[in-house]
């Protein structure tokens, strides 16, 4: 279940950043990672190279994600 929460948190960070909210776009984005540190995303199969994602663990059962495009950092 915790794995699902990690992916949900990343997806939610992305759709909120683009302004669509969770009602749209969740099925279009997928994530890959290396030990949850080097996180990348694909939208409709296209790698989103301008986006960065971070996942923070808050204790044993909570996490929060953040996302930004390269022009914002």
Q: Which structural domains are found in the chain, ordered by start?
A: 2-72 (3.90.470.20)
The pLDDT of residue 45 is 93
Q: What is the pLDDT of residue 19?
A: 86
In the block, tokens 């984005």 appear at 29
Share of the chain above pLDDT 90, in %: 55
What gap in Å lies between CA 53 and CA 67, rounded to an integer?
4
Burial grade of 11 (CB within 10 A; 0-12, 13-18, 19 or more): buried
Q: 14 — phi, psi (to 5°)?
A: -70, -50
Q: Give pLDDT tens digits for 55-71.
A: 999 988 889 999 999 87
List pLDDT tens digits, range 12-49.
Answer: 999 888 888 777 667 889 999 998 989 999 999 999 99
pTM of the model: 0.84
**Contact in structure between 31 and 41 (CB atoms under 8 Å):** yes
Please, where are the H alpha helices in the chain? 2-18
């Amino acid at each position: 279940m915790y794995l699902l929460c990690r992916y949900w948190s990343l997806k939610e960070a992305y759709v909120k950043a683009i302004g669509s909210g969770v009602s749209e776009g969740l099925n279009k984005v997928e994530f890959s990672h290396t030990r949850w540190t080097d996180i990348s995303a694909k939208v409709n199969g296209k790698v989103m190279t301008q986006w960065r994602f971070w996942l923070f663990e808050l204790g044993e059962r909570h996490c929060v994600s953040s996302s930004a495009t390269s022009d914002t950092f």
